[in-house]
């Protein structure tokens, strides 16, 4: 097996990150685990087809003994005992990484996935910044000469790294002529360079695992962790992983996922936006009962979302694992006090509900929200680090509860269709420019929310959904017309022909193909976008 690099341009830091030894480790990971990953991805397709035909899903019969068994995950490390507020964001650029580390949060989710556009520049910069963060040496000087460095007056957040999902490749690294697996590249480079440094400090290496769809995918990660620990001489169980329950099949396998990772498990996270995307994707052709209202109307108080989050808390605490809350989309705007006040109110309401439901902590996307989140959880936790001891024996969630999509309150409107098209094009353009997360109309949008946006439009066309505000069906002709209008709206707002032509026009072409081609459905928006990303 041979590993080769095909970088599109030179990037500083490759001499530190892409060493011969590190690449050899990545190569070993692929030799041992890439084939299993490919096999598991093929099983996803079969599962999706079965769910679409039947319009239903259930807890796996073959693992009933796991769900009924009396077992717990390994004891949590001291450095992860208190996770009441976690700030999320990409590890590149360095300024953003430093701001996250200086935010006062308990944990920084350093995202190499949905919040990072995986350009070659971002891939190397992100790994280099994580390398320096692990050693406490991360600094940055802006073009204007302003210097940024890590605070020394407060404890810094524990870093939890999120590699790419199983489905994503790394086109700039090839192994035996085939594109490398993005997740193995991300994990391999980070673990190789930082595992011993972090383990000696007792602060890692820790990971968030995205977009799992089956407990066998968790088993694969567990095998990877075990091999990596043995290979580099790190004690077994040092790695800890928090799994994002952000796909509908994973919601039916929470116990099983924790069980497969039990020596390495830290907890589960309610990845709400990807979860909605997964529901739409799985049941996109299963009829009108699975058509959700406008995205803005699908809150965490919808019955099917309440069932999902309450089951997650119950499952985690029964197994001695952390239950982590999700991301509220609202973000403050320091230039608009009224907008900030509304955002603060919405986020406070969200975090208060999560704390009272039994979550041990939650996510924020902006440093200005760290204190708010901490306050709401501290009201419930008091002097405790977490509330794992709070068992939710009152919760009884059935398969029907998780799938009560048709009971969601709200409507599909033409305004909602327009906003979905606007967000999908806007976000894709920003992603192509190298940024993985962006504030659009004071909401934090990342790949997950863009996926919801374009998938809802596809599903509405497929089902001929009638809009409540205009009383017309959503058709390819209507969507094509609205897309032209929304692209023109963006053109006038951007008011920069060069930027618009470079990023927004190709983004509009991608979104148009994704939403209007109702004969087929692209699993991930970022797959075609990645082909033109540099």
Identify each DSSP E strand in 46-146 by its residue range. 85-89, 107-111, 139-141
Catalytic residue selected from 274, 294, 357, 446: 446
* 446 part of the active site: yes
Cα 524–Cα 526–Cα 527 angle in degrees, nearest 5: 70
Phi, psi of 147 (to 5 degrees): -105, 140
Cα 371–Cα 377–Cα 378 angle in degrees, nearest 5: 80
Q: How many CA atoms lie within 13 A of 440 on its CB side?
A: 24
Q: Answer whether 79's CB lies under 8 Å from 202's CB.
A: yes
Q: Answer whether 32's CB lies under 8 Å from 227's CB.
A: yes
Beta-bridge partners for 209? 243
Three-state SS annotation for 124-174? HHHHHHHHHHHCCCCEEECCCCCEEECCCCCCCCEEEEECCCCCCEEEEEE
Catalytic residue selected from 37, 44, 162, 240: 162
Q: Answer whether 103's CB lies under 8 Å from 157's CB.
A: yes
Nearest alpha carbon to residue 365 among 404, 390, 330 = 330
Q: At what angle do helices 94-101 and 120-134 cross, to 10 degrees?
A: 40
* 162 part of the active site: yes
Nearest alpha carbon to residue 170 among 216, 112, 223, 213 = 112
Q: Which residues are catalytic?
A: 162, 446
């Amino acid at each position: 097996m041979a590993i080769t690099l095909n970088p599109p341009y030179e990037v500083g830091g490759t001499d530190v990150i892409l060493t011969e030894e590190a690449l050899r480790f990545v190569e070993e990971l692929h030799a041992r685990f890439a084939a299993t990953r490919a096999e598991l991805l093929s099983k996803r397709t079969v599962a999706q087809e079965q769910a679409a035909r039947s319009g239903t899903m259930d807890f796996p019969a073959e693992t009933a003994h796991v769900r009924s068994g009396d077992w717990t995950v390994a004891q949590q490390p001291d450095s992860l005992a208190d996770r009441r507020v976690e700030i999320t964001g990409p590890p590149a650029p360095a300024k953003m990484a430093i701001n996250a580390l200086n935010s006062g949060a308990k944990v920084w989710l350093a995202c190499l996935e949905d919040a990072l556009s995986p350009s070659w520049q971002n891939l190397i910069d992100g790994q280099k910044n994580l390398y320096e963060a692990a050693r406490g040496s991360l600094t940055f000087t802006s073009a204007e000469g302003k210097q940024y460095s890590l605070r020394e007056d407060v404890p810094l957040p524990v870093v939890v790294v999120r590699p790419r999902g199983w489905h994503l490749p790394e086109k700039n690294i090839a192994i035996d002529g085939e594109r490398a697996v993005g997740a193995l590249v991300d994990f391999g480079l980070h673990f190789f360079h930082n595992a011993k440094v972090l383990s000696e400090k007792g602060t890692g290496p820790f990971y968030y695992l995205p977009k799992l769809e089956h407990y066998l995918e968790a088993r694969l990660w567990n095998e990877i962790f075990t091999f990596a620990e043995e290979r580099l001489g790190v004690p077994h169980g040092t790695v800890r992983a928090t799994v994002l329950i952000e796909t509908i099949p994973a919601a039916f396998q929470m116990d099983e996922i924790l069980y497969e990772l039990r020596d390495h498990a830290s907890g589960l996270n309610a990845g709400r936006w990807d979860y909605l995307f997964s529901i739409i994707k799985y049941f996109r052709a299963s009829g009108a009962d699975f058509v959700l209202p406008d995205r803005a109307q699908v809150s965490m108080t919808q019955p099917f979302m309440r069932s999902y989050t309450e089951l997650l808390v119950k499952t985690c605490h029964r197994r001695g694992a952390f239950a982590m809350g999700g991301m509220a989309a609202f973000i403050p705007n320091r230039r608009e006090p009224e907008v900030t006040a509304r955002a603060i109110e919405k986020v406070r309401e969200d975090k208060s509900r999560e704390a009272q439901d039994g979550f041990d902590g939650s996510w924020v996307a902006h440093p200005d929200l760290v204190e708010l989140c901490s306050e709401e959880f501290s009201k419930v936790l008091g002097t405790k680090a977490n509330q794992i001891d709070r068992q939710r024996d009152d919760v009884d969630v059935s398969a029907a509860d998780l799938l009560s999509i048709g009971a969601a309150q709200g409507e599909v409107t033409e305004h909602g269709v327009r906003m979905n098209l606007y967000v999908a094009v806007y976000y894709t353009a920003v992603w192509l420019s190298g940024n993985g997360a962006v504030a659009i109309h004071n909401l934090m949008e990342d790949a997950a929310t863009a996926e919801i946006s374009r998938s809802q439009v596809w599903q509405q066309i497929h089902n001929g959904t009638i809009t409540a505000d205009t009383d017309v069906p959503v058709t390819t002709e209507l969507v094509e017309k609205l897309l032209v209008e929304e692209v023109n709206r963006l053109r006038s707002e951007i008011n920069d022909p060069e930027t618009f032509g470079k990023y927004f026009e190709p983004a509009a072409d991608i979104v148009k193909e994704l939403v209007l081609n109702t004969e087929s459905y692209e699993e991930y928006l970022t797959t075609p976008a990645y082909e033109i990303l540099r």
